[in-house]
Amino acid sequence: MKTEGISRRGFLRVAAAVGAAFAIEPTLNKVQAAEQLISGKHIVKNPDMQYRTLGSGPAAFEVSALGFGVMGMTYNRSQYPDKKMRQRVIAEAVDHGVTLFDTAIIYGPLNNEEFTGEALAPYKNRVNITTKFGHEVIDGKATGRQDSRPETIRRYCEGSLRRLGIDSIPMFYQHRFDPNTPIEEVAGCIGDLIKEGKVQRWGLCEVSSETIRKAHAVTPVTAIQSEYHLMHRLVEENGVLDTCRELGIGFVPYSPLNRGFLGGCINEYTVFDTSNDNRHTLPRFEPDAMRQNYRIVNVLQDFGRTRGMTSSQVALGWLLHKAPWIVPIPGTTKISHLEENLHTFAFVLADSEWSELERRVAAIPVVGDRYNAEQQKQVGH
């Protein structure tokens, strides 16, 4: 049942947000405060955090300038601490002003969403969770196929809402392009979910400029999520960043530290847990490739040494400097690394310094492909 253009779910969201608005900012107009909570424009901000806007117009989404990738808390990053410590890291991120937390159905599968929902349950009015659909999961197991048919998207949406413990998904990404489902159908389905209040915004991952344009024409896209860092700058060359700039779409770099490599904490001697880490399958993480690529880490370390920065801060600072609508989502299971990442905001460098870094890194050829052949087939459509 709908009244005055708002669904029952949407009405409940507004009602809940109004209650939160009274608690958060009693001096403001309560309806306005509720609308800001729903849109992701939080009333209370951490003065030590910087904020950025992904997307534009109705699709705009104000978030912390650094987000948090939750994947490694349970999936694909070898061993991890116990739940209590992982929840403590999440709590520290929230206390430092991080408002954007990223997960996906395929991570686990499913258990990463469950962990994210539980860890962020105490902070529902202070954070936004983004998740992703597209990879087929049957009976809790990944099949390796893509399925973005509208009926599947709806089923995955309901599952994500349940696991995350929320009434509406702040941003729902298509994780990988489905060659059997036109992107216009995907965009249309998401548009319907937005009207119903189950989804607030949407995005795409690892797609071409052409796909972005087709999708955006049906339902405005808030953000594109793709791998982007000093060792992988394809989005600068294939038109994706230019398309985002032209259409007013945000960009969210995943693996901004190249799966930990640019932080200098892994090298050719690192042993990955083959039962819970995909890096041993990636050509760029073979021992010989890492040995040669470590020269790039050395450049970042040398560059940062005279500026008081770690190599991680150099890598993140470079991305933040690229455009005000870029929001990296580094992940970690360590409070020390979280604080290190967030301290990146303390450093302000001149354009000429970042250009110098780019020249030094570009002089070193990157050894090894970022994905194996099968995974590479899933990107760039």
**Annotated active-site residue in 107, 156, 173, 228:** 107
371 catalytic? Reply is: no
Reduced 3-state DSSP string for the chain: CEECCEEHHHHHHHHHHHHHHHHHCCCCCHHHHHHHHHHCCCCCCCCCCCEEEECCHHHCEEEECCCEECHHHCCCECCCCCHHHHHHHHHHHHHCCCCEEECCCCCCCCHHHHHHHHHHHHHCCCCEEEEEECEEEECCEEEEEECCCHHHHHHHHHHHHHHHCCCCECEEEECCCCCCCCHHHHHHHHHHHHHHCCECCEEEECCCHHHHHHHHHHCCCCEEEEECECCECHHHHCCHHHHHHHHCCEEEEECCCCCCHHHCCCCCCCCCCCCCECHHHCHHHCHHHHHHHHHHHHHHHHHHHCCCCCHHHHHHHHHHHHCCCECCCCCCCCHHHHHHHHHHHHCCCCHHHHHHHHHHHHCCCCCCCCCCHHHHCCCCC
Residues labelled as active-site residues? 107
